[in-house]
Amino acid sequence: MMQFTCPHCGPRAQSEFIYERTVDSVVPLDAPSQEAMAKLFTRSNPRGVDDEIWRHTYGCRAWMILTRHRVTNEISGCRAIGPEALP
């Protein structure tokens, strides 16, 4: 079982977290529909390290960006985002 280190709660089981999406798939609200569709549905799925948005749903409910290798699941970083993030 994978473990994540929540910036607020410390090490926790991956089952407490919900995956949202990769950072590069976030679409601005004012993006043209063609661009939005391409970014959301026709992205590549590369192997290697990627930044992903996760939420500690069954814990502090904070959002975070997790840097994870897509093949090995090695986690090399985690930082808080949103209103809970420290300056």
Q: Which CATH superfamily is domain 3-26+44-81 in?
A: Folate-binding superfamily (3.30.2270.10)
What residue spans define the domains of the chain? Answer: 3-26+44-81
Please tell me the distance from the alpha carbon of residue 11 to that of residue 37, in angstroms, as a whole number: 36
In this prediction the pTM is 0.83
pLDDT per position as a tens digit, 40-52: 888 777 789 999 9
Please tell me the distance from the alpha carbon of residue 37 to that of residue 39, in angstroms, as a whole number: 6
> What is the pLDDT confidence band of residue 86, given thresholds at 50, 70 and 90?
low
pLDDT at 2: 86
pLDDT per position as a tens digit, 12-38: 999 999 999 888 888 999 999 999 998
Average pLDDT over every residue of 66-76:
93
